[in-house]
Structure formats: C-alpha cells, structure tokens
C-alpha cells in the first residue's frame, strides 16, 4: 500500500465527511442561535443538511486536484485534447447510480404512485388479523420494502417513507417509536431489495460480473430477507402495541385534490418500469425522465409538486460519495482480501456503516473472491445497510422525507443507530444461519 497524495487527501476528506454526517444535528442546533434569514443561520442550515455533506467535501477534493493537477481542457499541438487531472478524474467515474436514484425518486414520489402503493398496502393490511392501525403499519413495513425488489429500493424507500409520514410520524407518536420505525425502515429496505438482481445498489454493482440472476438472488438471499423483515416488523409492532392500537385514521384528502385515473397510474408505472429496465444507460433514462416531466405537466391537476429539490439533494449526496468513495480502494481492498468468510461477513456489516454498501461490494468485485466470500460480502453489506444514513444509497431519500418530524434538531445519528441495531442483528442471523435453497453458500 503506497497511496498517492490525492488518495491520502481523498481518504482524509472522506473521514471528515463521515464525521460531519454524525454532527449535522449540532449544526442545525447552532443555526437556531442566529436571527432568522441571516447569513449565519443559512450557513449552519447548509452544514446541517446531511444530503449536502459528501458533495461539499467532494468539491474540496476537486478544488485540491485542480490546484495540484490542473483543471483546464486545452487543445494539444497535435490536435488532441489535453485534459487536466480534476476533469480526467471526474470523467473516469460512473455517476449513473446517482442520476438513476434522482429520476426514480422523482417518479416514485408522485401522487399516482403513492396512492397506488397505499391501495396495495391497505388491501393487504385488511387480510392481517390485527387491529387496523397495527395491521397497516405491519403491511407498510413489510410490503413496501419487498416491493423494492421490483420497483427498486430508492422508489420503495420514497413510497414507504411518504406513507409513514402521512400516517405515523405525527405529534401523537413518541420519539422512541419514530426512531425504532426509522431504523426498521432502513434495514427492511436494505434487505428487501435482494429478491432480484437489479433493485438493490450493492447487488447491482456485482450481479453482472458474478453472473447472479433472479433465481440465485431469490434462493440465496431473497427468502431469508423476507423472513427477517417479517420477524423484525412483528417484534417492533408488538413492542409499540399501545401506540399502534385502535383503528386506522385514513388520511383526509384535500377537497380540491383530484384522484388520478387508472390510465395515468398505468402510464407512471410504465415510465418507472422503463427507467428500471434501462438503469445502466443514463442517456436513455434521462431522456425518458424529460418525457415524464412533460406528461406530469399535462396532467398537473392530478399531480402533487414533483419533488425535484429533495431528489436532487439525494443525487448530490450520492455523487459526492462516488467522488470520494472511489479513492478508498487502497485501504479497503487489502482489508477485504485478508478476511475469512465469517470475519468478512461481520466486517462488511461494520464497514457498511461508514461507507456506502454499493461502494463496498464494488470494491469487493475487483478482488478475486471465493463463492462463499462473495456471499458473505454482499450479505454483510445489505444487513448493515440501515445502521447509518450513508450505509445504503436510498437512506438519504427516507432521511430527507422524514427528518422534519423529529423537530428542529432533526434526526440523531445515534438514535438511528439504536433503532436499527435490533433489525440488523435479526437480518444477520437470518442471512448467516438459514440455508440457501438448493445448496449452501
């Protein structure tokens, strides 16, 4: 290991960014000490936006690279283009995933998709032999995450978080309940996308190279994830049975809110399906997104405002993570190569908490691993995907939607960690103890 200056600076900035994510609530607290609308308040509000953290520190890296390795794009003497180090580095990275998450978040947060998901969850909740409110809670936190295997994890996170915001994250619920639910949501979404090979970012990073298809995912990961989701959700519902007692209060619609027609909902679903199908091809799905915006404009009386700002912030977060994360290979790869299977499983779970699990599995794909090591790497990565906001790509989406419910200081990283530990342990046990159908891992 002999890292270059850029790698060292990138690692230092990455570590600072990780520490920054644990301090966002402190910055939010400081913002309230300044007059409303003042520069001081706005600066600390910006520093307290967890979605801006990695983009902010990635920008400092690019400034450093520009000053030491050049930025300008020039015409060479032989007619070829000479590209400076900063631009060359950025162009060597793949920003398809941040762009994909941005687009799918915008589409999933629309009125037709939310109402469609609500109908599915409400219909299934009626089949559960529990009181109305508890049945809807269990249905939302089981069905929503499992839907993530088909509509992708970012879309499932957006839809489920918006439903939780409308029905459960109100002033009547305790902070303890909200943190337990937030941790449960993040863990369930992280493992709930493993029934297929295209929905969970850490699986998406390796499925093609390792030739993992849908049947492989379902028999090795998917059924175990479903069992873990059912156990964790049932336990949280039992623990908070008093807060979940009684009938469900159906959300009141505004008198002027138009209910989308079946063909509008179908059109939205087709757009989402096409974006998922072309998830690796940014040029195509960004074009689809422009057509989608046109359709949403034409049908705007049946739409809520498109969540562009929230989606852009999440995309910015992931873009910063890609920019800084790719420079961590020099210390992560030797660690991964030196671990045995069980150590790799626990190590991947722990490392996921401080680095995006998709980045972790991507780095693992560059190393020669046995089949059992591949399983343990991905199993640990998805099991630990709920421990922190940076652990799994869709987490910033849920964080952004629900943070307003936690008061002026926002979501505490320690509160999220405590809420996620129980479901994480259950996920780890199911993924490591249960046998793979048709053979071991």
Q: Where does the pLDDT of residue 77 fall: very low under 50, low under 70, confident under 90, or very high at 90 and above?
A: low
Cα–Cα–Cα angle for 366, 372, 376, nearest 5°? 75
d(CA 350, CA 417): 12
Q: What is the pLDDT of residues 165-185, one digit of tens each?
A: 988 987 678 899 999 999 999
Count of Cβ atoms closer than 10 Å to residue 377 Cβ: 28
Task: Round the average pLDDT of the chain to a whole number and report it.
Answer: 87
Q: Among 168-177, 203-212, 360-369, 423-432, whose mean pLDDT is lowest?
A: 360-369
Do the beta carbons of residue 286 and residue 103 sit within 8 Å? yes
Q: At 327, is the pLDDT very low, low, confident or very high (cuts 50, 70, 90)?
A: confident
Q: What is the DSSP letter of 194?
A: G
227-256 pLDDT, tens digit per residue, is: 999 999 999 999 999 989 877 776 665 556
Average pLDDT over residues 292-312: 90
pTM of the model: 0.81
Q: How does pLDDT run across 347-395, given as a tens digit for each residue?
A: 999 988 887 788 788 878 877 788 999 999 999 999 999 999 888 988 9
Instruction: Give the model's pLDDT for residue 184.
Output: 97
Residues in a beta bridge with 74: 82
C-alpha distances out from residue 180 to 62, 385, 407, Å: 38, 15, 16
Residues 384-405: pLDDT tens digits? 999 998 889 889 889 888 988 8
Does the pLDDT value for residue 216 go beyond 80?
yes
All structural domains of the chain with their residue ranges? 5-92, 96-433
């Amino acid at each position: 290991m002999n890292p270059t200056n850029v790698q060292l600076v990138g690692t230092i900035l990455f570590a600072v960014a990780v520490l920054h994510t644990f301090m966002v609530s402190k910055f939010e607290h400081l913002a309230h000490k300044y007059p409303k609308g003042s520069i001081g308040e706005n600066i600390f509000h910006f520093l307290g936006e967890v979605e801006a953290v990695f983009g902010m520190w990635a920008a400092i890296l690019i400034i450093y690279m520009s000053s030491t390795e050049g930025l300008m794009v020039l015409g060479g003497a032989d007619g070829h283009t000479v590209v400076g180090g900063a631009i060359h580095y950025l162009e060597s990275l793949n920003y398809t995933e941040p762009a994909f998450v941005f687009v799918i978040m915008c589409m999933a947060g629309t009125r037709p998709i939310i109402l469609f998901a609500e109908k599915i969850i409400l219909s299934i909740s009626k089949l559960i032999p529990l009181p109305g409110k508890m049945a809807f809670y269990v249905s939302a936190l089981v069905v929503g995450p499992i839907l993530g295997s088909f509509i992708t994890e970012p879309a499932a996170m957006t839809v489920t978080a918006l439903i939780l915001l409308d029905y459960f994250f109100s002033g009547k619920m305790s902070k303890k309940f909200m943190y337990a639910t937030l941790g449960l949501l993040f863990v369930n979404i992280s493992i709930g996308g493993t029934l297929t090979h295209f929905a969970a970012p850490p699986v998406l990073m390796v499925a093609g190279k390792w030739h993992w298809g849908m049947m492989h995912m379902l028999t090795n990961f998917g059924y175990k994830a479903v069992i873990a989701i059912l156990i964790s959700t049932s336990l949280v519902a039992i623990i908070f049975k008093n807060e979940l007692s009684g009938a469900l209060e159906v959300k009141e619609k505004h008198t002027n809110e138009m209910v989308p027609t079946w063909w509008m909902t179908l059109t939205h679903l087709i757009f989402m399906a096409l974006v998922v199908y072309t998830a690796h091809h940014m040029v195509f799905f960004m074009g689809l997104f422009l057509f989608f915006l046109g359709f949403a404009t034409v049908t705007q009386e049946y739409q809520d405002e498109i969540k562009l700002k929230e989606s852009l912030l999440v995309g910015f977060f992931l873009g910063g993570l890609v920019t800084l994360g790719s420079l961590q290979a020099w210390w992560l790869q030797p660690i991964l190569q030196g671990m045995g299977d069980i150590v790799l499983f626990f190590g991947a779970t722990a490392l996921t908490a401080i680095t995006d699990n998709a980045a972790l599995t991507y780095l693992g794909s560059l190393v020669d691993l046995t089949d059992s090591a591949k399983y343990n790497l991905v199993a640990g990565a998805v099991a630990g995907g709920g421990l922190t906001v940076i652990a799994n790509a869709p987490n910033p989406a849920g964080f952004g939607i629900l943070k307003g419910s936690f008061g002026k200081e926002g979501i505490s990283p320690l509160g999220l960690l405590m809420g996620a530990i129980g479901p994480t342990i259950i996920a780890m046990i199911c993924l490591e103890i249960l046998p793979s159908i048709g053979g071991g891992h």
